Structure 1
């Protein structure tokens, strides 16, 4: 059963080494992410599952200790998704060495950096990269399967809102973006799983909202869990909606 969830944005700029000058405008987002992960640790989970958007090569499961890198963003920085099994953390999934060496998609690499910053040791973990095309019904089903993996499951959900909030945004300005992001922010703050389940897949795609599928995985996992939510951060400093929330 799902006992807690943290929702965080996943831009590589969240990592100071990637952001020249450490992008101080994201300091509040970084702090909120740390607070949200603290809620996960406080829930005393048996297992943590980290979910984030991924391109084709990064989709599927990623073992505890899997490697990620930010070298593609011009920074000589590598990360792991939690401490590897060889570091003394028991991996209940029993993942193979080949899985452990599979490269993390950027969203899970950012998650690995966040978990390292918080010195995560509360429970074994694994990652799941989900593709943008994954239909809502399938996302919800995947979430339900995740929640059934242990008595106490926690989720770290990585994903950005729309990328169309300003003229200089990656997706240019779209008048629908602010309303879409506001709807998602309200749903995450209220742990409203029905709103998340019902997000418009086509609209999310057009607005380049990479978090749509991970949020719907969360909605499926939280079905029947009775969790309450709190929105910890909401802003769009680069024309991309960044949201941080904690459910417990």
Structure 2
């Protein structure tokens, strides 16, 4: 049975071994992310991760990955992997971050992951969310969903996507929608406009909207900010 969702972001700097001198600057984001994952683990020890990557793919509990491609061989898993095995190549960042948060929150949690392509249509995202809800509600075991997605990467001149003067206002609207659980706003996010502004979490949030369907979420926001010119949101949504 679906119980709750936690919303987090996926900067590699979330991982202390990758943060280096930026560890202090990202401490609040890290603490909020771990707290949100702990809250989800208290509600459910079985998770489905929703993320965005280069192509659509699914990952099972036996997935083992590494952050070596980001600068440190920090190994993570979704809960059922042989820790002595070789990490799978090219595991999407959203899945790696989910694995790291799972270990910080409760290593007994077992997760699977659904990764959507960045250009997935809103209609397809809604269908994925509705199908996931039906699957989770068909089981008696409490089941949580960890949604991994970043906001605009174009909020400052030094941001990864440079500055786009449209981005601050769009990010403010997105922050408000994620804080209030505004499902209709998320459903109406335009894939092209989001791609222009580097809003990488769009597809995952639209699956989340499909997951809740007609149920208005009760929302708690633990963190909103834009270190390094990227919009990040951390919080929980419950039925």
More off after superposition, 236-245 vs 32-41: 32-41
1:139 aligns with 2:135: no
Matched residue, 1:114: 101
Question: What is the DSSP-based 3-state SS (H/G/I as helix, E as strand, rest coil) of the residue aligned with 2:61?
Answer: coil
Matched residue, 1:223: 213
Give, in whole Å, the separation in 2 of the partners of 1:158 and 1:60: 15
Q: Which residue of the other structure, out of 109, 112, 119, is the alignment partner of 1:126?
A: 112
1:84 aligns with 2:80: yes
Q: TM-score, normalised by structure 1?
A: 0.87
List gaps (5 residues or longer) in structure 1: 88-99
Question: What is the DSSP-based 3-state SS (H/G/I as helix, E as strand, rest coil) of the residue aligned with 1:19?
Answer: helix
Asked if structure 1 preserves the Cα contact closer than 8 Å seen for 2:126 and 2:206, the reply is: yes
Give, in whole Å, the separation in 2 of the partners of 1:44 and 1:69: 25
Name the Cα RMSD after superposition.
Answer: 2.0
Q: TM-score, normalised by structure 2?
A: 0.90
Residues 62/20 of structure 1: CA separation in 2 closer, same or farther (3 Å cut): same
Matched residue, 1:13: 13
Moved runs in structure 1, 4+ residues, more than 6 A? none
Q: How many residues align?
A: 232
How far apart are residue 175 of structure 1 and its match? Answer: 1.1
Matched residue, 2:163: 173
Q: Which residue of the other structure, out of 69, 73, 77, is the alignment partner of 2:70?
A: 73
List gaps (5 residues or longer) in structure 2: none
Matched residue, 1:234: 224
Give, in whole Å, the separation in 2 of the partners of 1:196 and 1:153: 22
Question: What is the DSSP-based 3-state SS (H/G/I as helix, E as strand, rest coil) of the residue aligned with 1:168?
Answer: coil
Give, in whole Å, the separation in 2 of the partners of 1:102 and 1:138: 27
Matched residue, 2:148: 158
1:52 aligns with 2:51: yes
1:246 aligns with 2:236: yes
